[in-house]
Structure formats: structure tokens, C-alpha cells
Amino acid sequence: MVTQPTPRTVAPTSASSRIDYAGLLNEEQLRAVEAEAGPVLVIAGAGSGKTRTLTFRVARLLERGVQPENLLLLTFTNKAAREMTRRVADLAGSFADVRRILGGTFHHAAHLLLRQHAGMLGYSDRFTVLDREDARDLMVTCLAERKLKSDKRFPRPELVLDLVSLATNLQQAVSEVLFDRRPQFLPLAPEILATAARYRQRKAQLHLMDFDDLLLNLKRLLTEHPTVRAQLTERFHSVLVDEYQDTNKLQGELVDLLAGERRDLTVVGDDCQSIYSFRGADFSNIIGFPERHPGCAVFTLTRNYRSTPEVLQLANAAISRNERQFPKTLVAERPSGARPVVVPALDAADQAAWVARRVLELRDGGLSLEAMAVLYRAHNHSLELQLELTRLGIPFRVRSGVRFFEQPHVKDVLAHLRLVNNPGDELAFKRVVRAVPGVGPTTAEHLWTSLRALPEGLSLAEGLARDEVRTHLSRKSRPGFERFAVLMGRLGRPEAAADPGRLIEEVLAGGYAEVLAAESSPEEGREDDLRQLAEYARRLEDLPRFLSELALVAEFAAKEALGAGAPGDVLTLTTVHQSKGLEWRAVFVLWLVDGRFPMSQAARSAEEEEEERRLFYVATTRARDHLALVYPLSVLPREGERILLRPSRFLEELPAGEGAPYDRLVLASAEAVLGGLPLGLAGPGPMGSEPED
């Protein structure tokens, strides 16, 4: 645990204050708002009024005589900045012109400051800021200039951009990020590094900055030009930062530089909600703040206005295992409610069926679908649930992205299977053949026309081998087309249709896994999506049944799309990462088994495991009234045998027995498996060794 410094004394609110701070804030919030000038760290627990506290802190500084133009308020979204400025205006608008506060995102503030001093860095004061699309276009140009001749599949321009961006925000060399974060591209390292260098060179030549350059160049300005730094630190008497736990290394350095020698710096955040390291967020910024700012005041907000005591009891127990944290215990301001439930289900289908039934029960009890959400660690964990909701006609939105079966990579693989099932499926053929390097829409059309002109009775694989078909191929496309033809030959074996899951694995092994590696980052989990789809497909007896099952989903999605403009009552499905900052009356958390939550690749060290536990904590604290933690005991039969799963370590860590902060609801379908599990799989913790009613 991190030991908290003793808070500095708090100046009492003046009787002549124009704002009734004591009447509008609780004691914890008031202490943070009234803190004396200097470095201040506010650890704001979930649902504790973080934004309110920071807003009142700004108003208090204005009331003490700090001029609006001497305040710098940094947020992570423009929406948050506008909302905060509006609230400050409501509080202090009668005695201060809040429009003169420099408030907004890090990038917004950096942009305004660089406009005044760009010439000192060799840029025109009319430099252009590239949006994401502009930056991609410039990277495409740089790739074209390189005239790559490698036989390896080169990563998409967007992935090279991500590498450069991550390197900037982590303050590391591109080569380091490539080695640590994208090792699959190491064989192409010389070309990637040369392309990244060319991209930076072209930006400088053309007086262009992308969003990351705004921060990097502001840091350069502050470190390379002491006079400018002196001017800016003199201008900003107070610097305030929202969501400080999400700052990356570069942002953390900028905050410290802008605070200057005056060190009148207020940062607000929750170390227990630091969950974005994959984007470059640096946990050491918030956890190491007291060491970087000796004598800082630390204030902790623990009074939670969101959740019931029962939900908070479980959340507090869940996060208590983390060693690196500012210790705190959330205390509910709301009355008691329902106890959370831990629900072991037989398998993923059983898990989905229970959640869907429970959603309907809550709706029948008067709770709207809008007031409910289903959370999961990875997007593919929602596959079975999306199918079940579709079958039952329960409308839902996928906040974590498009619906599972509407994702391009899922459609690509399903197109292979549709073509196996029906070689006359023109749309499926054209989709899969266009994935072959060098085959565009025109070539795909010629190939299809040639195939349809062949004598009847030929298999697809036989047709792809004919000279009159291959004559339309360019030299560049022939190797890839040959690989495609071999794959379709394997997929088209008569016995293959009996195992649709195996067909999906064959598509991945036949080259599509390499396509995914070149076109997406591991964090996107596209290959995991497809392996989850294969796991689901193994449940069904053959390929036609699998495809007809998916046709139901497509029909339901199409009907929903027709009424998309009309407001309606809709259930939310989302990853935990996407749920941060939101709340619902009822929350379901799925797939709480080791390897899924926490994810095996995300818990390889103590630091990574602690971040996964923080993610679990974020999931639990989204719930206001009802919380259900659900997990399957097994995955679907493979070759006739069930594979047992171990409950998430985060469940096993919760107190068991009479002190358990939950009720356990064992489904009838799961009882036999639960009672027969060996101790290593059934316990310790919430599973126990004996099933309960």
C-alpha cells in the first residue's frame, strides 16, 4: 500500500464567501476544495463527486483572487471541459469571467500555446494540424516512397501510425515500442523504422503537426527555451488536471513542467481506475505523485453517491488485494439494497441464457432496458449473448463497437464458409478473393465470370486450378491466389462441413491470421474473436445449421436497423474499458474465468495483474442497485469431452462463507458439474466444493 502524506491544514471558509461551500460539499470534498496553494492530489473514489470537487476548487481559486487567465484546466475530452466550465460559470460567473480560463484537452491547450511560439521550434506560425485521416494519408505517401519489396505482409498505415504515436506518448524510441508491443513486426523492423523516420521528416518539411506532435513540441518548447517556460509558468498560477490516472508519460511531464517552481498544482483521479496502459497511460504518474512533489497534500474522497452498500462491500473487497494503491474504503450514501450474486453456469450458452432471462425478469419488474448493461473483458465475450438476445427479440446496442457478426474480419471468415456451403455465392467469392494481394474488384469480376463459364460438375477447387481462370491474374497476385486455391481445396473436402469450428481454424491457418496481424493490433483481439466464433461453431452439428443460425442474427439486425431512428428501450453491451465513467442500475459481468478475466496475456506480471484487478473493480462500481458476476464452468464439448474452466482469481479472492459479500446462485444445469469438480477447480472462494441452492 502507498502511505498517504498528512494533509496540509485547510483554511476555513470565510464568512464573506459568495459560495456556500460547507453547505454544498461534504466534509471530504470541502477539505480538498479549501486546500492551500501547492501540490494537491485528490484521490476520488468511484461515484464520489470528482467533477464536483474540481469545479468547486476552480471556483474557490477565483474567489481567492486568482485571475481566470492565470488558470489552466486540463481534461481528456472537450465535452468534459465544457461541462466543467459551465459548472464553474454557474458558481462563479457573477464575480469572474470564466471564459478567460484556458480549459480543454491537453492537445487543445498545447495547440493554443504553440500558435504563439511555433517559430522558436522552426515551424511557421501557420502550421497545419493533421487529423487522423490526414496523418494516414501522409503515412501512405511515405510508404509509397519506400517502394517496399519485402515478401512479408507490411502493416497497414494505421498500425505504423499507432507505433509512432505510442512511442511519442511513452517517450520511447519506435524500435523499443516495436520490440515490446508489436514483436510480430520485428522481421520488418528496418523498413518500419525508416518509414517512421520519413513520416517525421515530411511533417517537419511541410510545417505539419499531428496530435502527438502538439504535446511533444510543447515539451520541446518548455525544455529547450527557458524564457518561454518562465513566461508560461508565470502566466499559469494554478494548474488543475482531471482524470490524472489516465495521463501518459509525456502528459505527466508536461503537467510538472507547466506547474513550474510555484507548484500550485491540483490533480484529481482514482488510482484504482487506472486501466489504460495499453494506450500508454502511466500508472506511476498518480502513484508516484507524492514522491515527485514532496510535501504535497493528499485528500481522499470515499463517500459514494452511486451504489448501494452491498455493491460497495464487494468492490472494496475486490480491490483490497492490490499492493500499489492509495488505501481507501468506499462508503455508501445510499440505503441498503439487493446483494450481488455470483452465478456459475454450465457453459457460455447457459451463461447467455441466464443473463437474458434475468434481463427480462428485471424489465417485467419495472426496470427499463436502458437502465441495464452487460460488461465483459473482450468484445468476443459477447458472442453467445448477442445470439441469445437476438433469439428472444431483446433490443440491444453494442457500445464496445459494431455487433459481433457485423465486424469486417468476422464477415471475411464467414464468407469463406458461405462459399464452401454454396460455391455459387457470388458475393462471398468476391469478398474472399479480394483479400488476395493484387486482386481488386475488376480482377475479381473476371475471375467470377470465368468460373461460371466452366463446365458443370467441377468443384470450386478444380475451377480455381483451371488456366482459363488463372489467366486473369497478374504476376503479383499469383502466389497469394495459389495459397487461396489450396485453402479452398481443404475447406471443400466433403467431411469438412461436419465441423464448422474446424473450418474457421483452417481459414486462420490458411493465411488469414497473417492478414489480421498486419491489419490490426493485438489489443483489438480480432484473432481472438475468430477463435471464439470457432468455439461457438463446434456446438452445431454441421455447416448449414451454423450458417442458418447466423442468418437469424442478420435478419434481426436488419429489422432493428429499419427502426434505428426511433427512440427505444435498449440494453447496453460493452467492454469494461468502454464503460468507465458510466453507470447503470443493473450490471452483469460475464466470463469471469481465468484466462478470460483476467486475460492470460494481460496478467503476466504483478503489475499487469493489478491492472486487471482494477478493471474488475471498475466493472463492479458501474452498478447502482443490482450486480451479477457470471461465469461458465466449462467450454463446449470438443471431440466429446467438456473442458473445465477455473473461476476468475478475482472471484476466488472474495471472502467466502458467512462474510461473503454476495449470494451464490447455482443454475440447475451447472449443479452436476459443480459438485464433481476437484478442489483445485471448485475452490477456494466463491465456488466452494459443494453446490448450494
Is 44 annotated to bind ligand? yes
C-alpha cell at 249: 508519460
Q: Tell me, what amino acid is at 29?
A: Q
- Location of C-alpha cell 466464433: 533
- Location of C-alpha cell 473514489: 45
Each residue's pLDDT tens digit, 13-71: 454 678 999 999 999 999 999 999 999 999 999 999 999 999 999 999 999 999 999 99
> pLDDT at position 561, please?
52
- Location of C-alpha cell 465475450: 381
Same-domain status, 429 and 546 = yes
Helix (H) or strand (E) run with residue 93 in it: none
**In the 3-class helix/strand/coil scheme, how is 245-262 assigned residue by residue?**
HHCEHHHHHHHHHHHCCC
**In the 3-class helix/strand/coil scheme, how is 37-49 assigned residue by residue?**
CCCEEEEECCCCC
C-alpha cell at 10: 485547510
> pLDDT at position 690, please?
30
Rounded CA-CA distance 341/36 in Å is 44
C-alpha cell at 406: 457485423
Is 45 annotated to bind ligand? yes
Q: Please name every residue paired with 571 in a beta bridge, in sequence order, or none if there are none.
A: 396
Domain span at residue 297 reads 28-109+236-255+263-301
- Asked which of 318-322, 668-672, 688-692 is least confident by mean pLDDT, the reply is 688-692
What is the average per-residue pLDDT within 118-128?
89
Same-domain status, 456 and 529 = yes
Same-domain status, 190 and 337 = no
- In whole angstroms, how far apart are CA 306 and each of 99, 312, 334? 31, 9, 7
Proportion of the chain above pLDDT 70, given as a percent: 90
Same-domain status, 481 and 356 = no
Distance of CA 632 to the CA centre of its chain: 23
Q: Is 343 part of any domain? A: yes
Same-domain status, 420 and 386 = no
Same-domain status, 290 and 185 = no
3-state DSSP assignment of residue 186: helix
Rounded CA-CA distance 558/552 in Å is 10
Taking Cα atoms as reference points, which of 265, 271, 269 lies closest to residue 319? 271
646 neighbors 683 (Cβ within 8 angstroms): no
| CATH of residue 611 | 3.40.50.300
Give the Cβ contact number of residue 24 at 10 Å: 13
- Where residue 137 falls among pLDDT bands split at 50, 70, 90? very high
**In this structure, which long-range contacts are made by residues 437-445, counting pairs with CB atoms below 8 Å and at least 24 apart in sequence?**
437/153, 437/476, 437/477, 437/480, 438/473, 438/474, 438/476, 438/477, 438/480, 439/473, 439/477, 439/480, 439/481, 443/472, 443/473, 443/474, 443/477
Q: What is the DSSP string of 576-630?
A: HHHHTT--EEEEEE---BTBBTTBGGG-SSHHHHHHHHHHHHHHHTTEEEEEEEE
Mean pLDDT of the chain: 87
Rounded CA-CA distance 677/517 in Å is 38
Q: Is 628 part of any domain? A: yes
171 neighbors 249 (Cβ within 8 angstroms): yes
Same-domain status, 473 and 609 = no
Rounded CA-CA distance 616/272 in Å is 10
Q: Is 617 part of any domain? A: yes
> pLDDT at position 568, please?
72
3-state DSSP assignment of residue 548: helix
Domain count, the chain: 4
Considering only CA atoms, give the Rg of the chain: 28
Is 525 annotated to bind ligand? no
Rounded CA-CA distance 64/146 in Å is 59
Each residue's pLDDT tens digit, 403-422: 788 888 888 999 999 888 88
- Where residue 358 falls among pLDDT bands split at 50, 70, 90? very high
- In whole angstroms, how far apart are CA 408 and each of 284, 512, 516, 557, 592? 37, 12, 11, 15, 27
Q: Is 13 part of any domain? A: no
C-alpha cell at 365: 419488474
Same-domain status, 667 and 617 = yes
Same-domain status, 503 and 575 = no
> pLDDT at position 197, please?
94
Q: Is 270 part of any domain? A: yes
Same-domain status, 417 and 513 = yes
| Residues noted as catalytic | 50-51, 242-243, 273, 622
Is 50 annotated to bind ligand? yes
Is 47 annotated to bind ligand? yes
